[in-house]
Chain A
Amino acid sequence: MLLKMIAAALCLVAPLSAQGAETVTEPKLLSHFPIGGQQGTTFKVEISGAALQGAHAVWFEGGELSASILKLEKLQDAYKEDEKKPEDYLGKAVKADHQAVFEVRVPKSASLGLHLFRLVTPRGLSNALGLQVVSEPIISETARPHQTAAASQYLSVPAVVNGRLSEKGQRDFYAFRVPQGEELLFSVRSDLGPSRTYQAQAGITLYRSSASWFDPNRVVRMVVDDPALSWEPFHRYERTRSTGRFALFRHVSHRFESPGRYFLSVGTFTGAGDPNHGYQLRIVRRQSTAPQPVLGKLAHPDQGDWLERDSATLRQLGSFQRPLERNRLALLHQRSGKAPAIGELSASTESASTEGSSSSLSATHASRLDPTSEVEPNNSLDRPGTVKIPGLIEGRIQTPGDIDLFRFRAAAGQKLAFEIETPGVSPPHFNPWLKLLDEGGNELVSNIYMEYGGDGDDVNKTVERKTIVTIEKAGSYTLQIRDLTSVQGGPRFRYRLLARPQVPHLGRVEISLGVTPSLSTLIDKTDRINLEAGQAKEMVVVCEKEEGFEGNVVLTVDNLPPGVQAWVSTAAGWTETLMRGIQYRPLGVEVVSPRHHRPQRSATTLVFWASPGVPITGAPRFLQLMARPVVDGRAGPAVPAGRIPFLAVGPPEGTQVMTSRR
């Protein structure tokens, strides 16, 4: 608590002070403009960055877009002495010393979404930035100042605008007209260069005219997007690959009850602005109630991402929106290291004859989990609904305070898992609170996880999407689900609840992400590998073992170029912290229940080594990390566990070869 108070006080009185300029040893991209383009067009992109000398190519990770570098120049004096330098989120100043211009070609068939690109230089691959590809024509922000409603730039809906917040405090105003009853979806995405804090992401405010006794041109705000809660689920890219931060995808949906002229502004929560602060604004008509893509979704996501549940240290709201697929059990079995035994019986509650068995599912059954809908009333222990194991229930918290109950029978020793999806509204707006009750209605376990943080006196709680439990006594049990609060509910408060046997399996494979002495170092390190001849680099891989998985995990790296090898090494010391997953727990206190909510973790250090004679190809590639569970002496099928951009490079001029960067 004390630490938080001090931290809060410091936040108020002082800017995030630079902790010294970072020594840039690898190329680093800081910003680009514009930050997107239309399918089937060619346009120029300006970028700024550090250590970009000799850049000779642009590499698009998805392979659909291509580009040619038109200009690369070294900046003489990037920042004046008294000018505040851009900082990364840990406070390290990163100075742009190069500027480049390249021409991008976007085929008509290019996928919509965010296309990651890197610059290829003699020092290696840069970090990635993203170019947003949209289908709509893009217009440019007007050159004249339009920082008041009266000076707005007029837009005809639908519209996509590439703009720039060039000055501190800048808000760009746009005007548009709507007919009565029109619902529009507004989204904006900022340049996500490493100099931006999440608070500096551009956001949207809607206004209407409201001539006042004082000011005939006055406008008043109607809607403001949420500066804290606009991130899109499942986009790990922004935090794991390039910037180490959560990405924010600010969007607002609004239905206009009155026709007429309205205004919107694009600005940042903190009033940040500089010449490199580009944004893309998109306004489209909302066609249905179904979720619509907003700016920022990756066009080519990494298939190796396996989002099992929340991590102890970097939690993801989006995990509640990950679909509970009908083949959920089959997917789990694929990562179990054991092929399901042919002919095994269904493990529904009534037939759960093998006490303690956790994987006795037929492949047939596992591949089909047909959801059943809740039937109200089911909010009292006298009249609960029922659920079979395995079973997928679809329900909703209809009104504030609504409680849904589902009863099932379980055998002693039975190991169960409960997973929740909230497809309509997700946390923090809808926070599903799951409890397992015994026959007497007593709570045995809930999906609230607690841990100690700060300096040890802070109790932090999270609502977990997965809870596992071992039934101690055969009998009748009840699952209770409600919203964490008693004030929220409605048609959008839908949930899907999967009750199933536990399936011991390989969970998420995480590459050097977690509590570390220097997160930025790790991010840089895991974002890509630039390997010089004769050089070795380490990478820590953490494997999560879910639901009692006790086997081994073999890590392999595919697509290594000739002359490059990957070896398994002993774990580095700091991984103990990483594996523990929490920062601090007072000695002698055992009040958290990790067995219900946290996987076992094991860390492995991979060493990549380039032989002295490795050919310098200059062509980047992805190294594919594969994880293969090994159980009972038998290796299961390998699963993708992440891809790592790689480039073999020559040593930088005038520098010594670094054999280890840790």
Chain B
Amino acid sequence: MVPRLPNHSIAKILAIFLIFLGWDSRLAHGQEDAVSPALLSLRIVPEDIHLSGLNPSQQVLLLGRYSDGLERDLTGSSLLLLDSAEVAAIEEKGRLTALAEGNATLHAQMANQSATASLTVQSPTAPPPFSFQHDIGGILTKRGCNDSSCHAGVKGRGGFKLSLNALDPREDYRWIVKGGTYQVMSMESAGPETPRVDLSQPENSLLLRKPTLLLPHGGGERLTAESSDYHTLLGWIQAGAPYERKEPEVVVERLTLFPEERVLDARGIHQVLVTAHLADGRTRDLTHRASYQSGNEEVVTVTDSGRVQARSPGETTIIVRTAGHTVSARFGVVSEPLQANPSPPPHNFIDDYVFGKLSRFQIPPSPLSGDAEFLRRVCLDLTGTLPPPGRVREFIASRDPQKRRKLIDALLDSPEYVDYWTFRFGQLFRVAAGAVGGAEHAYTYWRWVWENIAQNKSYREIALERLAAQGYGGASRHFLSYGEEAKAADIMPEEVRVFLGRRLDCAQCHDHPYEQWSQDQFWGLASFFGQISRTEWTGFGAAVLFDDPAGRQPDFGESAETVKVIHPRRKQLVKPAFLDGQAIASGGNGHPRREFARWVTAHPYFAETLVNRMWGYLFGRGLVDPVDDFRSTNPPTHPGLLKALAEDCRRHGYDLKQILRRITRSRTYQLASTPRESNREDTLNYSHFIPKPLEAEVLLDAISQVTGVPETFENGQGGQAPPGTRAIQLEVPDIYPSDFLQMYGRPNLLQIPEVEASPSLGQALHMLVGTTYTEKISKKGGRLDRLIQRNASHREVIEELYLAALSRLPSPREVAELESVLSTSSDKKRAWEDLIWSLITSREFAFNH
């Protein structure tokens, strides 16, 4: 059949008509009035302040709670008063400095509201315990010296290498005090070792002369000789540049921020407090020693001292680095605070978190979706399948108050659920002939995924099986790469990314440039996979994977590093070690990957990664997004919800169906996709369901379903998939080339897929002339042909096609206008073909909403 371009007037009219009548334009408009808020209360943070030699100063905040629900930073309003000027002094911006031992009270008063905080000062002149990481590394962080764009870059800068954010202080100490030129793949200095500190003439130290531009410095001026940081560095060198003093180093265990989450009005300013929690239980204010960065400077900017300034409505994070740690706070900016923002009744705990944040961020949620909208959405999300027209009518007509819950359960128990989630996990696990080196390998692997989904096996068990897989079974095929053993350095980061949601790849060759993953950690983890070996029986998919304590035999050239795991810089055999450096014994009859699997599945990251991934599948974006890119600089939008979902997941035994059930039952999931005027800009907080494009395979199946003409999948070996096979049912998808799937973003699975959802010109052209759209419409035996055979009326055709494609009945207006348009055509069949084409090329069809 020659592809036909439906370019006559009816098609155009129908297309335009559908755009106007479609869900795109069905917007609800809401107006909220702006009224000046009243101050309701004041508080000082922290309320209990301790100053000492360890912590000689403290940034304090004065906060006011207002009737619009916002808490504002009033610190700069000069409202803070200290009742004893001898004990401490307070600056205008709220920084308290200890003067003498004693107690005092800090007062604030404003608009009939007041607040107090207690102050205790002890041994203010005692020298604080020294920490190279904190005291010297902190300065290097604050001044940007150990930033990834400077000396903490992969190769360092100018031969001088520092670890990112002083993550590896001992290495930093070596390069500063011993000197030398850094090499990526060697522990040795590339040139003579000239110390960067001059103990005999401290002021002549490179460490001081370069950043003060007394010597040329590519990074420009970073210090002035008058600054306190300069004097701290100078004093350290004068003291002999020790790594630690007499007392043991006090390790910073963690950093906390205040606030962790804050909403600002359009003119809002807010100071961030940074508190270091030391290993000995004490705390220290690092607000003025930290480095700050805004995730989106169009939303907020932040000063070197941690003052956040609202710029435009939106939401972003402030990244804070110091003392080898990176943390973040979430800031939102609203244009006009709402006076009334009632939260809808929650369905479950998910809604508590989501609606709670919406309330704090002054974003009203959209109403609950209609039955038809929910039905289509949940069918596509849980089964990748459009509901049949009869089921749509049935569901819409049902008055059962539990019908949504019952539908969710029915879908989760359906074989279509198994098809779809086998497909989804098949993609995640890279079930492809090209990936594992043969269609038989891929098929065996696919079968393992299918069985797990069909049995609803605990995801923890799935992970354990996959990570520790040996022998010939399907899970072990994952360790084949082009038919050979996967390399440890390739497979480990994939496992960590899939199951722990972290991307360690960069740390293979060097410490991670942006995150706190070191090369040692990378190779320690990789070493768990260093004993994978294989026997090959005939090449017919019968490779047996096992862990050979002897390691692989030496081979040559490109894969030499896979023999055993050798640290590329240290040139030493690496023993398997977890992220905390704890090593396990290997060799003998040991099975190191089993240990790794146990560690992974017991790690808190495991459940968080899983629920985040499932959330991402359903909402189109994860609470952390991308779903496998957890990092300190990419924090979750709803950290509390993430933890609660993870805990719920653990409590229910990592039950995939339970996770899906929990989320799809939530009101959050069931909100309408139509935004209000006041939540239209929200893309992060789930105030309305954000439409997401159908995956290529689901879209193709949907077209086949609506037209009633199954796709034919031919493979490159002279065969084809059984008639009626859906795209999501292809067991080894990559042996079935498909222009349509390729065009709509089918991943090649040679690496973990990242779906590209952007529309393309090719897609547009394919809609117009592609065989998927044009040939299926009029094919004999298809839906339209059957309608013609039974001599259906215009109205029957319109209703059936709307139900099949959009899972809803047409509105009376749509029916009336379509009947009117269709009746102008002398060729009824052609007119109906145009109608079906218009439906399956509409956004309402191509998106899940």
Contacts and interface: CB of A to CB of B under 8 A. Distances in A.
Contacts of B533: 461
Nearest to B563: A459
Contacts of A485: 470-471, 544-547
A272 B718 contact: yes
Interface stretch (A31-39, A108-116, A213-221, A250-258): A213-221
Contacts of B383: 214
Interface string B220-245: 00000000000000000000000000
Nearest to A452: B555
Contacts of B553: 450, 459, 591
A290 interface: no
Interface stretch (A182-190, A263-271, A565-573): A263-271
B415 A212 contact: yes
B471 A212 contact: no
Interface in B721-759: 721-725, 734-735, 737
Contacts of B411: 213
Interface in A260-303: 265, 267-273
B400 to A, nearest CB: 15
Contacts of B92: none
Interface stretch (B185-193, B431-439, B656-664): B431-439
A272 B541 CA distance: 19
Interface string A7-48: 011011111100000000000000000000000000000000
B146 to A, nearest CB: 38
A227 B440 contact: yes
A245 to B, nearest CB: 10
Contacts of B714: 168
Nearest to A272: B719
Nearest to B440: A228
Interface in A131-164: 147-148
A215 B391 CA distance: 10
Interface in A201-244: 210, 212-215, 218, 220, 224, 226-229
Interface string A440-482: 0000000010101000111111110000000000000000001
Contact of B717 (A170, A197, A428, A487): A197
A372 B535 CA distance: 30
A227 B443 contact: yes
B716 A15 contact: yes
A214 B718 contact: no
B452 to A, nearest CB: 14
A1 B483 CA distance: 9
A171 interface: yes
A19 B735 CA distance: 21
A72 interface: no
A218 B419 CA distance: 12
B17 interface: no
A459 B716 contact: no
Contacts of A618: none
Given A227-B440, A228-B440, A457-B557, A273 B719 contact: yes
B477 to A, nearest CB: 11
B817 interface: no
Nearest to B410: A213
Q: Is the interface of A mostly helix, strand, loop or mixed?
A: loop
Contacts of A265: 722
A270 B415 contact: no
A1 B484 contact: yes
Interface string B448-487: 0000001000000000000011111000000000111000
Interface string A570-598: 00000000000000001001010000000
A170 B554 CA distance: 47
A508 B498 CA distance: 49
Nearest to B414: A212
A381 B188 CA distance: 45
Contacts of A273: 719
A198 B388 CA distance: 40
A13 B716 contact: yes
Given A4-B483, A170-B722, A487 B471 contact: yes
A523 B304 CA distance: 79
A515 interface: no
Interface residues of B, number: 71
B554 A591 contact: yes
Nearest to B541: A228
A8 B546 contact: no
Nearest to A6: B482
A494 B378 CA distance: 50
Given A4-B437, A148-B724, A457-B559, A314 B538 contact: yes
A486 interface: yes
B617 to A, nearest CB: 20
Contacts of A461: 533-536
Interface string B308-352: 000000000000000000000000000000000000000000000
Contact of B536 (A8, A226, A316, A460): A460
Interface centre among B712, B719, B724 (most CB of A within 10 A): B719
Contacts of A269: 439-440, 443
A400 B482 CA distance: 28
B433 A11 contact: yes
Given A11-B433, A13-B716, A427 B537 contact: yes
B414 A213 contact: yes
Contacts of B552: 459
Contact of B558 (A1, A11, A198, A431): A1
A349 interface: no
B576 to A, nearest CB: 16
A270 B718 CA distance: 8
A448 B439 CA distance: 26
A14 B535 CA distance: 28
Nearest to A221: B450
B589 interface: yes
A429 interface: yes
B387 interface: yes
A82 to B, nearest CB: 13
A15 B718 contact: yes
Contacts of B535: 427-428, 431, 448, 461-463, 484
A429 B471 CA distance: 7
B122 interface: no
B719 A169 contact: yes
Interface string B539-573: 01111111100001111111100000000000000
Interface hub of A13, A200, A428, A586 (most chain B Cβ within 10 A): A428
Given A4-B437, A227-B443, A227-B541, A270 B715 contact: yes
Contacts of B387: 214
B719 A200 contact: yes
A401 interface: yes
Contact of B484 (A4, A462, A484): A4
B717 A431 contact: no
B543 to A, nearest CB: 8
A315 interface: yes
25 contacts: A4-B483, A9-B434, A169-B713, A199-B439, A199-B440, A200-B719, A213-B391, A214-B385, A214-B416, A220-B454, A226-B444, A270-B439, A271-B720, A271-B721, A271-B722, A427-B535, A428-B535, A428-B542, A450-B553, A459-B553, A461-B534, A462-B537, A484-B546, A485-B471, A486-B470
6 closest cross-chain pairs (CB), A and B: A271-B719, A228-B541, A485-B470, A169-B720, A270-B719, A272-B719
Given A197-B717, A450-B553, 6 more contacts: A11-B716, A169-B712, A224-B447, A459-B555, A463-B544, A482-B589
Interface of B: 383, 385, 387-388, 391, 410-411, 414-416, 418, 433-434, 437-440, 443-444, 447, 454, 468-472, 482-484, 533-538, 540-547, 552-559, 589, 591, 594, 712-725, 734-735, 737
Interface of A: 1-2, 4-5, 8-9, 11-16, 84, 87, 147-148, 168-171, 197-200, 210, 212-215, 218, 220, 224, 226-229, 246, 265, 267-273, 314-317, 401, 403, 427-429, 431, 448, 450, 452, 456-463, 482, 484-488, 586, 589, 591
